[in-house]
Structure 1
Amino acid sequence: MNKTILIKNGTLLLMDAADSVLAGDLLIRDGRIAGIGEIADSADILIDAAGCAVLPGFVQTHIHLCQTLFRGAADDLSLIDWLKKRVWPMEAAHTPESIRASARLGVAELIKGGTTCALTMETVNHTEEVFRVVAETGFRATIGKCMMDKGADVPTALREEAAASIRESLALLDKWHGREDGRIRYCFAPRFAVSCTRELLEQVARLARERQVMVHTHASENRDEIEMVERETGQRNVTYLDALGLTGQHVLLAHCVHLDDAEMLTLERTGTRVAHCPSSNLKLASGIAPVSRMLSRGISVSLGADGAPCNNRLDIFTEMRTAALLQKVLHGPESLPAGRVLRMATIDGARALGLEQEIGSLEIGKRADVVI
């Protein structure tokens, strides 16, 4: 049975449409917010939040829980070498036990830092262990099995056939999507255009629309990656994905560091979501994403720490600070102010996942994903 919880005397940052901030109380009943303001009701659990900020739980829209154990093991490399020399071999070596340990450590770090929800791309194998960890911990997550069916340098353990990758993804979707009262969801997660055939990407585009689930992939993170896609397809990354049907409000592209004007227009026209990962982009020397330009055009941009080996932490406060500072260097001190970047880490992240009616702000009736 759910107990009632009353958080008293806090400074409530509601993250509602008016960016309301008020001193008061927050009542939680049956896992949802039941009251905001001065509340005289009694409760099973009383928390005195005097001197504390009370916020909606942070939402990160690009994470790799399977990589938490790789922290510090893939430094001083650019993206493609980082993948080929370090991350892919380590992912290929994962066992169910190591994946489970990595996911538990990652979820613990995220929760400790105030993140209560994440969009996470796992590796090719043993993804069910991540679902089990999320179910056990109470964390909220949209999880995808990584899909990879192309690439001469991909380790054998990660190289799939398109049909087998689709079958396993659909099996996980059927078993886990909507479990735990909707706390756990599935998404299709083709790694990126470099390691996925056209056949696989076209099937993902079709199935995601048919099954009404998200697609989570990487795009335009690194200039070498973009050149590889362009040599093979004759198109830049986002243009290629759009031609395959992999754009829209149900699609989230991680990074989008290097976009031309046509790609920017595509993101704006289709409502495709973008996850900005500033620490990762700096560590891998990928570049600085045009966040201010995207936001000015109404493109959805939220935040993610990416994986531990390209960060080396999963702290949302670091990502908020870094995102803001980078845009100020490029566009002046008024760019990306604190209130705007806080929205990127809360309600904008929830909206990117299609969960804005359930989480992302402190409003009566919403899920009580709350941090103090």
Structure 2
Amino acid sequence: MSSILIKNAEIITMNINEEIIAGDIYIVDDRIREIGQNLSHAADKVIDATGRTVIPGFIQTHIHLCQTLFRGQADDLELMDWLKQRIWPLEASHDEESIYYSAMLGIGELIQSGTTTVVDMETVHYTDFAFQAIAESGIRALAGKVMMDKGKEVPVRLRENTKESLQESVDLLEKWHRYDDGRIQYAFCPRFVVSCTKELLTNVRDLSATYKVCVHTHASENANEILLVEKEHGMRNVVYLDHIGLANERLILAHCVWLDEEEKRIIAERGVKVSHCPGSNLKLASGVAEVPSLLDHQAHVSLGADGAPCNNNLDMFNEMRLAAIIQKPVHGPTAMNARTVFRMATIGGARAVGMEKEIGSIEAGKKADLAILNLNDFHVYPSYDIDPISRIVYSATRADVESTIVNGKLLMDNRQLKTIDKAIILKESNFAIKRLMKKLENVAF
């Protein structure tokens, strides 16, 4: 049994009343045992959090760890060119080591910026090595191999046989799902409708129901993407996914920038979860998702950074600020206020992955997934009479995260990573991308 006692903190609970309290947090093993004032329990680790703010760990519901190595390699392109010219050839060049170090590079960045849970979509091959990185690092994740069994402008290396894609996914699920008492979970990850046959998607629908796991895919990110889907299927993305029975409470849709009213209604009525990725949508010139309208429809919306080559960081502070400010020119200054956005980054993310009873808020009995912030610096002062959530969303940065705890374990303590060797990961990441870049000219289509 291990224990941590956090003393004298400002605690942003995000419980049902969204209380902000002063006090202590007592953690035993992987759970929060008690929250109160002047707790005096003996503990293996005591953290003096005087002047610090403790928040629920951020939950990012759309990430590509396999793409972290590609940061800066695909700048200033729109989505389909970005995929065809750079990302798909780079993914086709991956090997076991490059996947591992790409995942570790991303996870290190995530831990440093207070993210404790990710929904991760890998590439076609070597996903087992990404799972190994997730397991070693201690981060919480829903992850799966990407599935692609259709497409004319896709590298040969990424073109899958439908049955083999399904079998490989099930094999990974049976190996990794519920690993470490559920810290790692599997999600089926068909890339998007353009890359997937109806046979693949309907099988994913059935497997998701059988295993009771999430499906994580892209939808309606780009206007041209929708034209491709309409040309082939005679209906828009979300309508098609609903038509084949995939639109349900286990479905997590990344982006949803270009939705019509029927699609918004389907998303809300079926309980589909939307992952809003403002940084990626802006950089790829995809557009601005109509998040206020989705919220008006009572849809579930959370946040994600997407991948490093389309953002170019995995920083939830950046995503929160963008999610808030990009809506205000159209919808007014009160649209997407700080508390709404912070809710999306924490308990909203927990709802997206079906874990709101376990993570997303600081409450006794829940998993101990927390971040400790030091908001004592020029860029977040003065602090007098300001809502601390507003300070975090509009002023704080990832450099303000001092410690990150997942499952009751310190993954970063006073800015020192505990499960990742930073020097090795940085060194090996440069070696890996250099190797992949040399392979690009030999990628077959």
Alignment TM-score, normalising by the size of structure 1: 0.99
SS in 2 for 1:274: strand
Amino acid at match of 1:265: R
SS in 2 for 1:319: helix
CA-CA distance at 1:44 after TM superposition: 1.7
Alignment match, 1:148: 148
Alignment match, 1:92: 92
SS in 2 for 1:180: helix
Q: 1:52-71 alignment to 2 at 5 Å? A: 52-71=52-71
Measure, in 1, the Cα distance between the counterparts of 2:315 and 2:350: 17
Which runs of 5 or more structure 2 residues have no equivalent in the other structure?
373-445
Amino acid at match of 1:337: N
Are 1:157 and 2:157 counterparts? yes
SS in 1 for 2:358: coil
SS in 2 for 1:181: helix
Alignment match, 1:11: 10
Amino acid at match of 1:185: Q
SS in 1 for 2:169: helix
Measure, in 2, the Cα distance between the counterparts of 1:100 and 1:153: 27
Amino acid at match of 2:236: R
Amino acid at match of 2:116: T
How many residues align structurally?
371
Measure, in 2, the Cα distance between the counterparts of 1:158 and 1:26: 47
Single out whichever of 43-52 and 124-133 deviates more from structure 2: 43-52
Measure, in 2, the Cα distance between the counterparts of 1:257 and 1:24: 41
SS in 2 for 1:91: helix
Measure, in 2, the Cα distance between the counterparts of 1:253 and 1:330: 24
Amino acid at match of 1:215: V
Measure, in 2, the Cα distance between the counterparts of 1:5 and 1:211: 35
Alignment match, 2:25: 26
CA-CA distance at 1:37 after TM superposition: 1.4
SS in 1 for 2:5: strand
CA-CA distance at 1:3 after TM superposition: 1.9
CA-CA distance at 1:73 after TM superposition: 0.5
SS in 2 for 1:225: helix
Measure, in 1, the Cα distance between the counterparts of 2:77 and 2:44: 52
Alignment match, 2:35: 36
SS in 2 for 1:266: helix
Question: Any idea what the Cα deviations from partners look like across 1:188-246, whole Å, max 9, x if unmatched?
Answer: 00000001011111111111111111000000000000000000000000000111111
SS in 2 for 1:142: strand
Measure, in 1, the Cα distance between the counterparts of 2:31 and 2:76: 45
Measure, in 1, the Cα distance between the counterparts of 2:296 and 2:36: 34
Amino acid at match of 1:14: T
Alignment match, 1:221: 221
Alignment match, 2:328: 328
Amino acid at match of 1:33: I
CA-CA distance at 1:30 after TM superposition: 1.5
Question: Any idea what the Cα deviations from partners look like across 1:116-149, whole Å, max 9, x if unmatched?
Answer: 1000000000000011111111110000110000
Are 1:339 and 2:339 counterparts? yes
Alignment match, 1:268: 268
Amino acid at match of 1:135: A
Amino acid at match of 2:112: K
Amino acid at match of 1:17: I
Are 1:188 and 2:188 counterparts? yes
Alignment match, 1:51: 51
Amino acid at match of 1:254: A
Question: Any idea what the Cα deviations from partners look like across 1:329-359, whole Å, max 9, x if unmatched?
Answer: 2201101111111110000101100111111
SS in 2 for 1:81: helix
Alignment match, 1:259: 259
Alignment match, 2:286: 286
Measure, in 2, the Cα distance between the counterparts of 1:4 and 1:12: 18
SS in 1 for 2:141: strand
Measure, in 2, the Cα distance between the counterparts of 1:179 and 1:122: 18
Amino acid at match of 2:15: D
Q: 1:71-82 alignment to 2 at 5 Å? A: 71-82=71-82
SS in 1 for 2:98: helix
Measure, in 2, the Cα distance between the counterparts of 1:82 and 1:62: 18
Measure, in 2, the Cα distance between the counterparts of 1:15 and 1:296: 21
CA-CA distance at 1:40 after TM superposition: 2.2
Measure, in 2, the Cα distance between the counterparts of 1:165 and 1:87: 20
Amino acid at match of 1:51: G
Measure, in 2, the Cα distance between the counterparts of 1:96 and 1:246: 32
CA-CA distance at 1:42 after TM superposition: 2.4
Alignment match, 2:121: 121
SS in 2 for 1:17: coil
Question: Any idea what the Cα deviations from partners look like across 1:71-123, whole Å, max 9, x if unmatched?
Answer: 00001110000000000000000000000000000000000000010000000
| Ranges of 4+ aligned residues in structure 1 off by more than 3 Å | none
SS in 2 for 1:143: strand
Measure, in 1, the Cα distance between the counterparts of 2:188 and 2:198: 15
RMSD between aligned alpha carbons?
A: 0.7
Q: Percent identity?
A: 57
Alignment TM-score, normalising by the size of structure 2: 0.83
CA-CA distance at 1:153 after TM superposition: 0.5
